Structure 1
Amino acid sequence: MSTTQTEPDSETGVDPRRWLALVVIAVAQLMVVLDASIVNIALPSAQEALGITDANRQWVITAYALAFGGLLLLGGRIADFIGRKRAFVIGLVGFGVASAVGGLAQNQGELFGARGLQGAFAALMAPAALSLITVTFSEPKERAKAFGVYGGISGGGAALGLILGGVLTEYASWRWTLLVNTPIAIATAAAAVVLVRESRAEGKPRYDIPGVVTSTLGLGALVYGFTKANESGWSAASTISLLAAAVVLLAAFVVIERKTAEPLLPPRVFTERNRAGAFLVSLLLGLALFGMFLFLVYYMQGTLHYSAVKSGLAFLPFSVGVIVGAGIASTVLPRFGPRPLMVGGTAMAAVGMLLFTQITVDGAYLSTVLPAQIVMSVGMGLAFVALSSTALVGVEEHDAGVASALVNTTQQVGGSLGTALLNTIAATATASYLSAQAGKAAEGLVHGYTVAFNWGLGALVLASVLSAVLVTKQRPAPEVEGEETAFEHAEELALI
């Protein structure tokens, strides 16, 4: 057996090292998800150390999210053609180097640039990771378990990043929230060379550069437009110009994808009913989840006066809840199919968000925040596993990387839009409250948070409705003697 490529077992036709490969893929995915949130708690320390202005500090977060979300589709296509294992290893090494540059940054420009590079390499690594799962695990029950691991990491990793960010910032340095990635990324890349099997799409590689430019710039203009609305107001010329540019660019992207021979986002990937439902639900979950993290951090540190470590640890129940929900989903998904899990999971998440709207200035963690976290996190875990599986089942192998990228893209785009849009909504609500009731700053801030939570609640209710309407009841047929044809057909639906 080669030391650099795992061959399928001659009798079973499956990769004998597939579970070890899953560990490698899981570690890489955890780093990608962590870095979307780990610097949140470290941001005040980084801002003070590098002299970053209040106006520019947002770019520590958005530089990563925009590069990641904007380049994921291209990353998925590159992974399809150059080889998913190769793209995975390149992404890991590049991510580790970019993390080191950010951790050693001496000014804000270096830090912003490093965060953008992290996002770009994550955009290559993440879709390769997910598509490697789809081609490594061909048996439906095993694939469901693998998606359970992936779903737990995708949902719980953001909360875990807040915990690690608090611990590293308080007991080491904000720089270690970035530097910690470097040795892990290099070691994971070395393990991937040995344990992960290569796969790639057939055909001559062609890349849709006009699609890349219009989609990336369009998403960037949209997120930045929401950010400018917070700074200058919705009626400001800069805000209107950015939002108008976003509409034009994204409309151009749609036209390009419909007409080009090798589209960045093939319409056939998005037009299948179940898959479209999964992508829309993923977008809405990202919006609600990122917004919840943002305002809950402010609430715990600003209103409840928690330290960085205490506020980070306060998110631990959320991580546990997502893992529990993902474990349940991976067990029951092959039997019941994705629809009950997506509808029930998003409805549970909505109930949790409804509880978050009840926070007050005099509120307590145990009576208000903790119950909301538990309910919302379990629901998120159920939904994440179901939508990840639904988004990829039945897609042609040639498009596996693009479909995988869309799972991550929708979450990141939803998170970026949610952070910018809900922050603007919260700030507007707070300003209106204070203009009517001067001198109640704490109450005004909490009012802004609850208004944002209500918008997040609306997104989750919509996600539940879309899950019920767009996702079918289809599930794998039972594995019973005499029913091989039906079960083999179910396996074909799962293969990519």
Structure 2
Amino acid sequence: MTMTTEPVSGPPIPQRLTGRMKAVLVVLLVAQFMLAVDFSILNVALPKIGDTLGFSLSDLQWIATSFALGAAGFTLFFGRIGDLIGRKRIFLGSLALLGLASLVGGLAPNPEILIIARIAQGLATAAATPAGLALLTTSFPDGHLRQKALGLNGALMSAGFTAGAILGGVLTDLLSWRWAFFINVPVALIVLLVAPSVITESRPAVRPKVDLPGALTVTLGLLGIVYGLTQAGEHGWTHPVALVGLLAGAALLAAFHFVERRAAQPLVPLHVLKKRTVAWGNVLGLLAFVTETSLVYLLTLYMQKTLGFSALTAGLSFGVLGLGTVAGGMLAPKLISRTSTLAVLVGGGLLQAAFTGVLLFLGSTSASMALMLPAIFLGGVGNMLVIVGFMITATTGLPDHEQGLATGLASMSQQIGITMGTPVMSAIVTAATMGATSASAILHGVTVAIAANAALVLLGVLIAAVFLRARHGRTQN
């Protein structure tokens, strides 16, 4: 008698979100939205903080720079540490630090305490962002459910950046700039109370050693690049301090590549960086965040300096952009499942470029708002399609034990893009206006920068079409 055996298979992959998946998704999305808000919530409040605490005008930029240095410089390092000791542990610890730093910042009696709190907030963001993304990708099976989760995550992160600008203006005008810090405390506390029972730990079975030379060179290199970018935005691209920071950062990143080639257990295995999806996906992510976040800066400048709007009115106008990014995040997984990730990257980029180009026709009267508002809505939809496509591209095809690294790279691209965009566009505006400050001169400078912005979006479309075509067919949905 002949007996046949059925092949052994693992548990079936769920096709719909389970109750536990929904709980995990809510907890992680709330945390990621809060982290995104922190990038922009203090921008409108800077003058009032300076008046209250006695910051000099030249030192105000350190409130943003101190945060950016920690948030962008340590992201890759903490992402890898999460792979080694557990993403849940890093995630919870960093949120506790964020809540404490926010409380200290809100109570700060002098500039020194405020800057220390901002550094701590930046470090907490550098740890929590890749850990949260890694927990998200490992909590959902590769495919439609993960794409849906990443789409919602991307939408809320982009909306959080926009919401930060709005919320900062509202809180500062109605209450106090201190509430821009305090608002994090209850949110962090709620997440810390709920997350331990909802999120399961994610860590490798065997813990490799930490690559200290690699960690040191990449962290210092990123710090140099970010510091150079912020100084370039403040003083110009030819300023000695900006040049030294950028050159030192570039040299250290080159040294990092040399170190990783010889490390027995590298911080970033070179076979990961050689994956086309990882390398070019992160380039697309960087361009996506450079273009949309810097567009917020350009349009803020336009509305306040050319149209004469208040900071609060300008901030509230970006609610339309926030709605566009949320719509794009909801739409992206559906489009990817029906077409492909590459199609969404290209189509989203073309949509963003087209409606960024529409902004070239802005005029010097408030009637231009009828053109600007629908353009930023549809451009926001396109930008979010690219961001979701980038997140899926940069994290797909890697095993779970490398997801912290993949999401660390993606988070680093995002945060450097946010940091880089404003200095680049500010330098273009400055060059185009040649020192003039009239409303018409500002409009001219903003228009030139918008053209450069649209060109960068089209560069992303070209990169996706040329370098991801071979690996992104319909099978990778």
TM-score (normalised: structure 2): 0.91
| Paired position in structure 1 for 2:264 | 261
Q: CA deviation at 1:229?
A: 4.0
Instruction: Tell me, in whole angstroms, the C-alpha distance in 2 between the residues paired with 1:196 and 1:455.
Output: 43
Q: CA deviation at 1:108?
A: 1.9
Deviations 1:304-350 (A, max 9, x none): 23233322211111111111111111112123220010011111111
One-letter code of the match for 2:131? A
Structure 1 residue corresponding to 2:198, chosen from 195, 200, 215: 195
Q: How many residues align?
A: 464
Structure 2 residue corresponding to 1:393, chosen from 388, 391, 396: 396
| Paired position in structure 2 for 1:186 | 189
Change in 2 beyond 3 A, CA 1:52/1:356 = farther
Q: Secondary structure at the match of 1:202?
A: coil
The yes-or-no answer on 1:441 pairing with 2:444 is no
Q: Secondary structure at the match of 2:44?
A: helix
| Paired position in structure 2 for 1:115 | 118
Q: CA deviation at 1:403?
A: 0.3
Change in 2 beyond 3 A, CA 1:393/1:229 = closer
CA contact (8 A) 2:362 2:368 kept: no
One-letter code of the match for 1:167? V
Instruction: Tell me, in whole angstroms, the C-alpha distance in 2 between the residues paired with 1:235 and 1:377.
Output: 33
Instruction: Tell me, in whole angstroms, the C-alpha distance in 2 between the residues paired with 1:151 and 1:233.
Output: 32
The yes-or-no answer on 1:58 pairing with 2:58 is no
Q: Secondary structure at the match of 1:395?
A: coil
| Paired position in structure 2 for 1:270 | 273
Instruction: Tell me, in whole angstroms, the C-alpha distance in 2 between the residues paired with 1:54 and 1:215.
Output: 32
Q: CA deviation at 1:16?
A: 4.9
Alignment of 1:282-293 (within 5 A): 282-293=285-296
Instruction: Tell me, in whole angstroms, the C-alpha distance in 1 between the residues paired with 2:238 and 2:316.
Output: 40
Q: Secondary structure at the match of 1:357?
A: helix
Q: Secondary structure at the match of 2:141?
A: coil
Change in 2 beyond 3 A, CA 1:309/1:428 = same
Identity across the alignment (%): 36
Q: CA deviation at 1:357?
A: 3.0
One-letter code of the match for 1:357? L
Change in 2 beyond 3 A, CA 1:142/1:352 = same
Q: Secondary structure at the match of 1:364?
A: helix
Gapped regions of structure 1 (runs ≥ 5): 1-9, 435-439, 478-489
| Paired position in structure 2 for 1:21 | 24
Change in 2 beyond 3 A, CA 1:242/1:192 = same
Structure 1 residue corresponding to 2:214, chosen from 211, 215, 230: 211
Instruction: Tell me, in whole angstroms, the C-alpha distance in 2 between the residues paired with 1:358 and 1:47.
Output: 36
Instruction: Tell me, in whole angstroms, the C-alpha distance in 1 between the residues paired with 2:86 and 2:230.
Output: 37
| Paired position in structure 2 for 1:132 | 135
TM-score (normalised: structure 1): 0.88
The yes-or-no answer on 1:224 pairing with 2:221 is no
| Paired position in structure 2 for 1:437 | none
Q: CA deviation at 1:250?
A: 1.9
Instruction: Tell me, in whole angstroms, the C-alpha distance in 2 between the residues paired with 1:48 and 1:310.
Output: 22
Instruction: Tell me, in whole angstroms, the C-alpha distance in 1 between the residues paired with 2:45 and 2:308.
Output: 16
Instruction: Tell me, in whole angstroms, the C-alpha distance in 1 between the residues paired with 2:211 and 2:296.
Output: 35
One-letter code of the match for 2:430? A
| Paired position in structure 2 for 1:452 | 449
One-letter code of the match for 1:459? L
Instruction: Tell me, in whole angstroms, the C-alpha distance in 2 between the residues paired with 1:84 and 1:225.
Output: 31
One-letter code of the match for 1:17? R
Instruction: Tell me, in whole angstroms, the C-alpha distance in 2 between the residues paired with 1:314 and 1:345.
Output: 22
Deviations 1:153-183 (A, max 9, x none): 1222211111111111111111111110011
| Paired position in structure 2 for 1:325 | 328
One-letter code of the match for 1:458? A
Instruction: Tell me, in whole angstroms, the C-alpha distance in 2 between the residues paired with 1:51 and 1:263.
Output: 45
Change in 2 beyond 3 A, CA 1:236/1:140 = closer
| Paired position in structure 2 for 1:461 | 458
One-letter code of the match for 1:452? A
Q: Secondary structure at the match of 2:57?
A: coil
| Paired position in structure 1 for 2:46 | 43
CA contact (8 A) 1:334 1:475 kept: no
| Paired position in structure 2 for 1:481 | none
Q: Secondary structure at the match of 2:204?
A: coil
| Paired position in structure 2 for 1:280 | 283
Instruction: Tell me, in whole angstroms, the C-alpha distance in 2 between the residues paired with 1:452 and 1:60.
Output: 25
One-letter code of the match for 1:211? G
Instruction: Tell me, in whole angstroms, the C-alpha distance in 2 between the residues paired with 1:380 and 1:78.
Output: 30
One-letter code of the match for 2:466? V
Instruction: Tell me, in whole angstroms, the C-alpha distance in 2 between the residues paired with 1:216 and 1:129.
Output: 20
Change in 2 beyond 3 A, CA 1:42/1:392 = same
| Paired position in structure 2 for 1:480 | none
CA contact (8 A) 1:166 1:311 kept: no
Deviations 1:431-467 (A, max 9, x none): 25x3xxxxx6222222222222222222111111111
Change in 2 beyond 3 A, CA 1:233/1:39 = closer
Alignment of 1:398-409 (within 5 A): 398-409=401-412
One-letter code of the match for 2:227? Y
CA contact (8 A) 2:142 2:396 kept: no
Q: CA deviation at 1:379?
A: 0.1
CA contact (8 A) 2:346 2:465 kept: yes
Deviations 1:106-151 (A, max 9, x none): 2222222211111111111111111111111115222122112112
| Paired position in structure 1 for 2:5 | none
The yes-or-no answer on 1:418 pairing with 2:424 is no
Instruction: Tell me, in whole angstroms, the C-alpha distance in 1 between the residues paired with 2:19 and 2:238.
Output: 60
One-letter code of the match for 2:452? W
CA contact (8 A) 2:230 2:419 kept: no
| Paired position in structure 1 for 2:432 | 429
Q: Which moved more, 1:56-65 or 1:27-36?
A: 56-65
Q: CA deviation at 1:232?
A: 4.8
The yes-or-no answer on 1:164 pairing with 2:191 is no
Instruction: Tell me, in whole angstroms, the C-alpha distance in 2 between the residues paired with 1:22 and 1:398.
Output: 20
One-letter code of the match for 1:318? L
Instruction: Tell me, in whole angstroms, the C-alpha distance in 2 between the residues paired with 1:51 and 1:346.
Output: 44
Q: CA deviation at 1:299?
A: 2.1
Instruction: Tell me, in whole angstroms, the C-alpha distance in 2 between the residues paired with 1:290 and 1:13.
Output: 37
CA contact (8 A) 1:80 1:200 kept: yes
Q: CA deviation at 1:364?
A: 3.2
One-letter code of the match for 1:337? S
Q: Which moved more, 1:64-73 or 1:47-56?
A: 47-56
